[in-house]
Structure 1
Amino acid sequence: MNTFNIQSPASPSSETAARNARIAATRPVTAEAYPKDWVVRARDLAGEFRKGAVERDHERTSPVDQIRRLRESGIVSLLYPAELGGGGGTLREAASSVLEIAKVDGSTAALLGFHFYNSLVPLLTDYTGQNASFVRRSTQARWLWGNVTQYVNKEFVAEHHPDGGFTISGTKKWNTGAPLAEITTVLAIHPDRDRYIYAAIPTNREGLTFHEDWDPIGLRGADSSTIEFENVRILPQDVLHWSHGPKQTGPLPLWASFGAIFYSAVFIGRTLGALERIRDYTLESRRQGTFGGASVSADDPFIQAEFGQYWVQAQAAQAYFERVIESVQAAWRRRAELTDEERGNIALETLSLRTFASRTALEITPRIFELAGGRGTLWSADFDQYWRDVRTLSSHDPEVLARRVIGQHALHGTPLIFPTHFKASV
């Protein structure tokens, strides 16, 4: 069986050495047995991650210890089949685990969510089991996966290597998780420029430079840096088998739909986390202007009415989340039989969920200041972390474009079709 070389490259630069040391610190010290209840385990981990979360946000600290704990717990392998060494968990368990962690730590939750749907790429590119070795190696080492996948870079083109496989040179932006991961997916255009190739390579592969230029207002620890490729070797055994026809000429089936589920988990988790924080705050303090006779803000009828509205909205988002997950889980069980129309319907369903969850989070998370009052704006309180995280993640895919696609379908029954990204030669 082929194995990845995850040893540090010879004579590394000071930047590379520092990065290798950081990744080494995320590796499991122990390997816990898989839990009986994944969501309960995630909730326990969230309790651990709560400590220091504000400081990590303020200091833009990478969640190295938190990633190590996720790997030690086995949650990183939750979605992999038991017969390949995985946890044999469901989409609902994975998404709910992300949601629980998002209540207290948006960056770590986002990294776990991106890991989940990118670690599934070997199973998404092939339904026949020919990528099983990637999964087995991942479960054995409990890897965290990053991604270098964006379809929009038309200049990221591989070249044939004389000894087999490919080499890649070029730049890719917004590579979430890759700077903290042992392994990353890589999507590039085939040398013939008529299809894509998908590969999985160790992140210490010679020729990779991580620019560490992630400096957003939110998700400050969810590294999504620019990566430069300089004659990076893609070995034949790194290339993922593709079984959905002769060539991959468009988006990976179900990849975006799984992504929308995990985006939504972060949005809803951040919303619920904000409500839990502000609930505790109003029960313990009395803001200026609190209704007369109320000893704490939670007894103010106006604050009760506002909180009640936010709580109902959050409940609606959770119910929608559960319904869509059930639908997508059913589709995943019969993935080999899905038609293009069915995949399009799933994409519309998950796009609608992501849009609703994002809009709900963007409405509620900034309005918790109405309940906190002036003292809630203190830097040390960090009540703005929830809105900043949601705003940062939701900006990745403009909501207005999603609403247009949904509206076209709702008004005209227009199906969502994923066209080829490559024009046929004349």
Structure 2
Amino acid sequence: MKARTVRIWSVVHTWSSLISTLFLLLLCITGLPLIFHHEIDELLGYDPKPEIAQPGAVKRSIDEIAGTALANDPGRVLQYILWDKDEPNNVIAFTNNKVDGDPDAATLRAYDAHSAKPLGSVGGGPMLIFLKLHVDMFAGQPGKLFLGAMGFLFLVAIISGVVLYWPFTRRLNFGTLRDKSRRIAWFDWHNLLGAVTIAWALVVGATGVINTLAEVMLSQWKATELADMVKPYAGKPPPVHLASLDRTLENARKTAPDMNVSFVAFPGTPFTSSHHFAVFMRGDTPLTSRLLKPVLLDGETGEVSDARDLPVYLKALLVSQPLHFGDYGGMPLKIIWALLDIMTIVVIGSGLYLWIVKRRKHRSHAIAGQPAFQPSE
């Protein structure tokens, strides 16, 4: 590689790393407990469990559970009802001040599917703080897009690091750690752990960038496919009286008989139109359970209006979300994800340390009147 090319790649690697370093450390540190958020929530009591049902026990109607949810939160309206994939006897109701209210103002409560009894709040506690820091730094959509930009710089730093240091590291045996000085030792650790985590970092970085664009993708879907699905209702007033949820869900299941209900969005919420319930169906395999199919149903009659598969970009988003946190393979994959996350923290921290040491070395040489250039390791 020519000297000029090396300098260009060095500048790209240095500045893409430096600009994103603090935010990447934030993402790695907050992401570590989020890998185990189910386990931590359960340990701290923020993951309510239903009572053990007797064999053959009949589940209560969703209309009854919805009524209980509204009674528990007077003055509020229902936005969504969700079925917990990991705990099918939990029904989670989202209520808010208004149907299109701010997500941060929503209250999530779990209800027992067999008794309709409230089980407690969901999604609170310290994990919510970690999640908000990780997703948008409490800055809403601008925060998401900013972190997406930092994630993109992270990908640039990884690729430029490979291009820059691969010609050098391939001359050494894998795992070589020289002890000439502390700086060289950290340089070797930086490259070694970087090589170990490179594939994981690319996957997690890329899926993280995709996730920051979720609201943009949802807006695109609403402006195109959803708009086409609800075109026959253009100009009609929103429904005054909503159809029975049980009848609505029954019709949705008939439309997609090989799928299960994931959640239902009430008319006027961001996932549907002002005229329709949107029942999102999911498959029953590890992969298809992440993919959703929306079924639109008339808000007054509960009859099916349309049903279509989601576009490819939304499918990519849905698949990327669990991959980002290692949710596909149970506890073994979560542990691997956590170890790789810790290694990445060391890579980022050591990179910052090496840059600081290099700057100090250049400054001391400049003060002493010596040339700052030194042969690279």
- Relative to the length of structure 1, the TM-score reads 0.23
- Relative to the length of structure 2, the TM-score reads 0.26
- Answer with 1 or 2: which has the greater Rg: 2
